[in-house]
Chain A
Amino acid sequence: MRLIARLDIKNEHVIKGIHLEGLRKVGDPNRLAKAYYEQGIDEIVFMDAVASLYDRNNLYHIIEAACRDVFVPIAVGGGLRTVEDVSKALGAGADKVVINTGAFRNIHMIEEIARKFGSQCLVGSIEAKKRDGTWKAYVDNGREPTDRDVISWANELERAGVGEILLTSVDQEGTGRGFDVDLIEQMNVAISRPLIVSGGYGKQAHLDALLSRTRPSAIAFASVLHYERATVDDLRQAARAYQE
């Protein structure tokens, strides 16, 4: 299982909120990325937390700098709206782009990116929130609801050509109260691409609760690393019992 560090960024700072809201500064993106790399992280995801407000991603220079120090895959998301944006992100050195709102506005963009750059660089991002007993997909960093059921949306993203799905539980995100295991289990069964899950880790028991039910391809961690409640090695030890 891959362990991913997720760095949500606003105005040059890594920030952390709860339910993707109420953002608090926690540090410098490149310093943290380097620290997690040195701890042995498997992958880094930079997310521009406010990009969708302005329809543009501002992380290109952070990616360029990260490439000089971090020799694991680097993904970037937030505010990527056009094939041109994607080309720029990959040119800056990103290995993968993470797309939610852009795909929702124009699914053909996903097809075009897959054709042009390959599915391996394309992560479809789904922000899930439970409403009336079912999980709906949200856009604009968890702010705007859509009518799409998360599972059917994930399947549509797969057909369009994404190589992986990043599933963020907005309900659990930043709470440290555990993963949304029901959601993750259903999604993992429903899709045939690797699943990255994000949101909710607070303590080792949460990992046990998740991994005894379903094995995602990767887990993204934020608060636990940012607030130094555990090291990458601690998390790897905890996940080891469930390695494939």
Chain B
Amino acid sequence: MTETRQFQTGGASRVEADALIVCEGLVKIYKAADLEVVALQGLDLIVEQGEFIAIVGASGSGKSTLLNILGGLDTPSAGGVMVAGYDLLALSASDRTDYRRNTLGFIWQQTGRNLLPYLTAVENIEMPMMLDGRKDRRDRAMHLLETVSLTGREQHRPSQLSGGEQQRVAIATALANSPKVVFADEPTGELDTATSSEVFEVLRTVNREQEVTVVVVSHDPLVADHVNRTVAIRDGRTSSETLRRTAIGEQGERHVIAEEFAVLDRVGRLQLPSEYVEELELERRVRLTLDPDHINVYPDRPGHDEGVDRR
């Protein structure tokens, strides 16, 4: 398959009522000693039900902060965020507990952090169901173990499982209470390539067969092969999204077409790709011209004033 990259612009200008996750102008400010760190600077994001998306970005771009907010582990400083009908800014303590228990599943990067070390694999999976007072938890736990291809390992403790197996148990645990969405923060960060691929494949299976929305934060380039959509975050905002689709060529060959879009926020701002900016040496101001079906962007330098209305 070949990959064709096309750059297009696009973005949502209004809240999608049916979307599973809606973030509007999300802001998160941390105070550390005497410093204020603005981790999110008005981030917008929409995730539809059933999507498998990846959130990528450089270190410090705010992606883990976003995930913590979406996972109910942290609260934003400003903005709005709705997940599965829950307004995360307006949750009471009991609602937040219910949200964490029944609406989402969470997977961390550190394999040991996802599981209680003194419980077996099946017991770890049962644990969220225990919190919810579910009666059929053993059966469901065994089913989930089968889903993640760990049948036969149910009585093993985390210390007796490999990193990849631990993460698969973590995935099963995250699915225990039939959540609507699973958040995974660098789930393959500690795994090798082959194991990482297995984990992503499991997530993909879960997404496809159980129709669970999966949001993965990752540095791993492999994630791109597994997701339909990649959202890039830069400087606390969504900068671009890449959509992938498979197309069939004239010869019947399949090729994946990745279309990268700049994200336009509700007030019309967008981030130009950095390589474009560097290439054209764009700085401070740019000149815009409007054509019937596109907008031109010119650097503010002599010789680049075509189409300028000098009246």
Genuine A/B complex: no
Residues of B within 8 A of A (CB): none
